[in-house]
Amino acid sequence: MSETKNIPQHVAIIMDGNGRWAKQRGKERVEGHIEGVQRLRDAIKASARWGVRYLTVYAFSTENWGRPEAEVNAIMELFCKSVINESPELQKQGVRVKVMGDRAGFSEKVLSYIERIESETAAGERLTLILAFNYSSRSELTAAVRQIATEVAEGRLTTEQIDVQTVTDHLLSAGVPDPDLMIRTSGECRLSNFLLWQSAYTELYFTEVLWPDFTEEEFDRAIESYTHRDRRYGLVKK
């Protein structure tokens, strides 16, 4: 393990490749999602071991509603079961869970489990796990602009007061530092409407490994890659 002088405070992951993993093995797509839960356990464990403070994962995008109904229902059921199965261990590890996204599209059952996992893990201080669930970065930005416009119209804010921090403070991720490292599995090299504003200076790590095969060792490789990068934020290093 590298020296801890350059460890990312916030890691974001686009967990891609569950369906392809299942297809390669002649299994139903939901089997890939089930295996993906184990890899999320590994990522949480590795994050805590490295000293990462925030881990944000793209669990379900707004576009994912367009998948077959049976698959969507299976994902929602898997989430509810995972809350029951994982909550005790998350509490033991000091992991706080926050769910980020549009909750309007969820059933009452799913909403109750979202509230349950957030409540049961609220005391966690070692690592904050943020689940981007029914999340769209464009929708997030649109909502932020709409709220800012409302505040201007109501006289609570002037146009001269609007700056980068104003927008940041109106996002779903308000109060959370921007990701230092973004990992995407499965060989795809795009952000797919995930944390677009927050990732302005994020280091990107793309790997051919499918998410169900992304073990702790693979996570370590990503962190090791980050530790050797020189982040200049558009400046010239003296």
Tokens of 222: 């990503």
18 part of the active site: no
DSSP string, 90-152: HHHHTEEEEEES-GGGS-HHHHHHHHHHHHHTTT--SEEEEEEEEE-HHHHHHHHHHHHHHHH
64 part of the active site: yes
CA–CA distance, 44 with 95 (Å, rounded to integer):
8
How many DSSP H helices and E strands does the chain contain? Answer: 7, 6
CA–CA distance, 144 with 160 (Å, rounded to integer):
17
Looking at the chain, which runs of residues are DSSP E strands? 10-14, 54-61, 95-100, 127-135, 181-184, 203-206
Contact 110, 76 (CB under 8 A): yes
Catalytic residue among 6, 42, 64, 178: 64
- List the catalytic residues: 16, 64
